[in-house]
């Protein structure tokens, strides 16, 4: 089936969110932090609203409620399944969602665009378009997408902030909310042609005890290149060899998994964050001799 395209006009400020995955509490905080004003702002939600997360029904109902205000447009993502708890009205609302928003200078889509010929695109190719930024495509206008957590575009240092590629005119905003331990929900803002963003997550704060210089950052495993060979296994960490690069990585046993006889790792890194003694960052996960932390959207190790 052809992707459904809706032509929209943007107001002075645009707030764009994607891949909420049942995190209604994060969405509400983001809108509050952004000072969302329905009459002044355009609110765009690029799909993957209510599945794979803790508060699916509440999130769907909140987004439906938001969509009644002016200047709000919602897209259908690849995870917008019709589920048992939904009312007939909710089914119908989801089934009527478009796949592409055409706003002139900007195009918004959940997964990506196979081409700029918007009227003749297959809907699934727009909703589930994996690694869209890595297909060598570039566009005459800005294409803003979600779906592929931005961390999957980071092959050395994992970062969860939106990525803006001027060369390709592609913007990726999915912060891995609900999918990655260090993930966040990003609001991407466009105001008078200027870009900015705000992140929200629930990670606790962590105070670094010692000063540590930045190091590592040779590898961050991504979903596209997730296959590894386990070279040795300790009580808490394993040494693995990343098949795509040949690089070796020490990573928690709990982060790697075996499927069909193949070991896999996604979002694991050797990057060590630069921190000053007493500096406060976000705690992602604690281990016996180190913690995985996040600072300004970038994840990495801090050794104790």
CA distance readout (Å), 27 to 5, 39, 62, 204, 239: 25, 18, 9, 18, 38
Figure out which of the listed residues 19, 80, 201, 268 binds Mn ion, where binding follows CB under 5 A: 19
User: Quick check: 48 binds Mn ion (CB under 5 A)?
Assistant: yes
Task: Work out how close the CB of 55 gets to Mn ion at its nearest, in angstroms, rounded to a whole number.
Answer: 16
Q: Which stretch binds Mn ion (CB under 5 A): 15-23, 80-88, 162-170, 263-271?
A: 15-23
Question: In terms of CB distance, is 177 or 249 closer to Mn ion?
Answer: 177
Question: In terms of CB distance, is 146 or 297 closer to Mn ion?
Answer: 146
d(CA 287, CA 253): 11
d(CA 255, CA 230): 12
Task: Work out how close the CB of 49 gets to Mn ion at its nearest, in angstroms, rounded to a whole number.
Answer: 9
d(CA 231, CA 236): 14
In the chain, beta strands by DSSP E:
5-7, 13-17, 41-45, 72-74, 100-103, 106-109, 142-145, 163-165, 170-172, 185-191, 194-200, 205-207, 227-233, 237-242, 248-252, 257-259, 262-264, 280-286, 290-295, 298-303
Task: Work out how close the CB of 151 gets to Mn ion at its nearest, in angstroms, rounded to a whole number.
Answer: 13
Q: Which stretch binds Mn ion (CB under 5 A): 40-48, 225-233, 269-277, 278-286?
A: 40-48
Question: In terms of CB distance, is 130 or 225 closer to Mn ion?
Answer: 130
Question: In terms of CB distance, is 19 or 268 closer to Mn ion?
Answer: 19
Q: Which stretch binds Mn ion (CB under 5 A): 11-19, 89-97, 240-248, 285-293?
A: 11-19
Q: Which stretch binds Mn ion (CB under 5 A): 13-21, 57-65, 121-129, 233-241?
A: 13-21
d(CA 280, CA 276): 9
Question: In terms of CB distance, is 48 or 270 closer to Mn ion?
Answer: 48
Helix, strand, coil share (%) of the chain residues, nearest 5: 15, 35, 50
User: Quick check: 80 binds Mn ion (CB under 5 A)?
Assistant: no
Total chain residues near Mn ion (CB under 5 A) = 2
Task: Work out how close the CB of 168 gets to Mn ion at its nearest, in angstroms, rounded to a whole number.
Answer: 21
d(CA 82, CA 90): 9
Distance of CA 155 to the CA centre of its chain: 15
d(CA 168, CA 226): 25
Q: Which stretch binds Mn ion (CB under 5 A): 45-53, 187-195, 250-258, 259-267?
A: 45-53
Phi, psi (rounded to 5 degrees) for 130 = -70, 145
Q: Which stretch binds Mn ion (CB under 5 A): 47-55, 57-65, 92-100, 261-269?
A: 47-55
Task: Work out how close the CB of 78 gets to Mn ion at its nearest, in angstroms, rounded to a whole number.
Answer: 7
Task: Work out how close the CB of 142 gets to Mn ion at its nearest, in angstroms, rounded to a whole number.
Answer: 20
Question: In terms of CB distance, is 63 or 281 closer to Mn ion?
Answer: 63
For the four alpha carbons of 80, 84, 87 and 92, in that order, the dihedral sign comes to: positive
**Which residues in this chain contact Mn ion in the complex, by CB under 5 A?**
19, 48
């Amino acid at each position: 089936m052809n992707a459904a395209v809706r032509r929209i006009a943007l107001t002075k400020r645009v707030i764009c969110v994607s891949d909420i995955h049942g995190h209604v509490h994060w969405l509400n905080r983001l809108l509050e932090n952004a000072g969302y004003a329905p009459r002044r702002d355009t609110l765009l939600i690029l799909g993957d609203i209510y599945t794979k997360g803790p508060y699916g029904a509440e999130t769907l109902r909140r987004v439906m409620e938001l969509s009644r205000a002016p200047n709000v447009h919602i897209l259908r993502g690849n995870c917008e399944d019709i589920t048992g708890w939904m009312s007939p009205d909710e089914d119908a609302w989801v089934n009527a969602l478009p796949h592409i928003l055409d706003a002139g200078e900007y195009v918004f889509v959940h997964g990506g665009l196979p081409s700029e010929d918007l009227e003749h695109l297959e809907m699934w190719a727009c909703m589930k378009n994996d690694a869209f930024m890595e297909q060598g495509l570039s566009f005459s206008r800005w294409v803003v997408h979600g779906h592929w957590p931005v961390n999957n575009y980071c092959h050395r240092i994992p970062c969860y902030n939106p990525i803006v590629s001027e060369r390709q005119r592609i913007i990726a905003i999915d912060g891995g909310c609900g999918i990655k331990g260090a993930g966040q929900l990003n609001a991407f803002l466009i105001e008078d042609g200027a870009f900015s963003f705000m992140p929200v997550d629930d990670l606790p704060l962590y105070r670094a005890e010692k000063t540590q210089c930045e190091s590592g950052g040779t590898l961050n495993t991504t979903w596209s290149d997730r296959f590894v060979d386990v070279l040795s296994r300790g009580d808490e960490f394993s040494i693995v060899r990343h098949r795509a690069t040949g690089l070796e990585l020490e990573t928690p046993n709990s982060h790697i998994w075996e499927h069909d006889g193949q070991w896999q790792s996604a979002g694991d890194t050797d990057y060590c964050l630069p921190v000053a003694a007493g500096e406060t960052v976000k705690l992602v996960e604690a281990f016996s001799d180190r913690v995985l932390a996040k600072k300004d959207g970038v994840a990495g190790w801090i050794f104790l």
